[in-house]
Structure 1
């Protein structure tokens, strides 16, 4: 049974315990550069190592669930909101990109998620699924903007969106890699990012 399926059978107290374990696992992964010891997580979460396996099938399952929780937090902060109700499309997306940059700069697990290229298959599957969902939402977002006349209808959303998303994700990777060229002038970086996005959308 997957950890998500298990969670649906838990009561409120058990869900709180599970979340405490996820927080401890995120701290462990961040402090150890992507590595994780169950005993350390148990100590931080103040539970027994055996109890962790009530919630997660394996060490890898715990890591995958922690990455899933990272993306849940990211979605709440960046994806699931309208950052500027009533504003035009490019202004809303600028605010969204700004929130995305702010999130990954502050979240302790961001470097592990974005910079660790060697991932367990279960963890890679979580990332693949979440990124595919983000891409689908981006396409729907652009199609809606085209219906409203905010973006040229000749732009192919199925081409433009993956290009833009891939570029922004690589930008986040470079930021987390402490690129001095990007970090010395954040406002200029954001201006150039949005200029690229505007051109890609024919604005």
Structure 2
């Protein structure tokens, strides 16, 4: 994998830090100070502030897809056991990233970012639908499920459920959040 140019990576790291510090707000002057780069570097690498934010979103969702990928799951387990583990990995990824609450709760208010997130959610929903079809083909999920709708329901439910769990008071531990969400996923898919 090719390394990102130093200035580009400095800006991405500084922007993530500034978004966390500013609870979703990103001021260019604070960003360039933190990155120790000029505003021109931002435009050179990303074209605009929106381009930078899009790169952060893309990085977040690329990391999520990697974190929940099949190689991280038990190979000999039944479908439900594997998907329970995948649900926990999904939750753990969000709980481990301090930017997750901001991306799930604040940044979606930006129309450009909401559109970008929708693309990522659609991609993940399509993957979930294929996975549900596999569960149906091996007889572990009801054949009456509409896989496309179920995939969208699961991914959308996880996305919003995790956002709610991250806001919970008192704070919820990741394992407990994963169990809560897995129970809802399993129930919606007809898994006993």
TM-score, normalised via structure 2 length: 0.86
Q: How many matched pairs? A: 190
Report the Cα offset of residue 175 of structure 1.
1.3
Contact 1:29–1:109, Cα closer than 8 Å, also in 2 = yes
Q: Summarize the Cα distance change of 1:132–1:99 in structure 2 as closer, same or farther, 3 Å threshold.
A: same
1:193 aligned residue (178, 181, 186): 181
Is 1:114 equivalent to 2:114 in the alignment?
Answer: no
**1:171-182 to 2 correspondence within 5 Å?**
171-180=161-170
Contact 1:82–1:92, Cα closer than 8 Å, also in 2 = no
Structure 1 unaligned regions, length at least 5: 1-11
SS of the aligned residue for 1:36 comes to coil
1:86 aligned residue (72, 76, 80): 76
**1:1-203 to 2 correspondence within 5 Å?**
15-79=5-69, 81-116=71-106, 119-180=109-170, 183=172, 186-187=175-176, 189-203=177-191
Q: Output the CA distance in 2 between the equivalents of 1:162 and 1:142.
A: 11
Q: Output the CA distance in 2 between the equivalents of 1:106 and 1:58.
A: 28
Q: Output the CA distance in 1 between the equivalents of 2:5 and 2:73.
A: 30
Q: Summarize the Cα distance change of 1:67–1:80 in structure 2 as closer, same or farther, 3 Å threshold.
A: farther
Report the Cα offset of residue 41 of structure 1.
2.1
Q: Which moved more, 1:107-116 or 1:145-154?
A: 145-154
Contact 2:16–2:99, Cα closer than 8 Å, also in 1 = yes
Q: Summarize the Cα distance change of 1:13–1:144 in structure 2 as closer, same or farther, 3 Å threshold.
A: closer
Report the Cα offset of residue 174 of structure 1.
1.2
SS of the aligned residue for 1:152 comes to coil
Q: Output the CA distance in 1 between the equivalents of 2:174 and 2:58.
A: 32
Q: Summarize the Cα distance change of 1:14–1:122 in structure 2 as closer, same or farther, 3 Å threshold.
A: same
Report the Cα offset of residue 37 of structure 1.
1.8
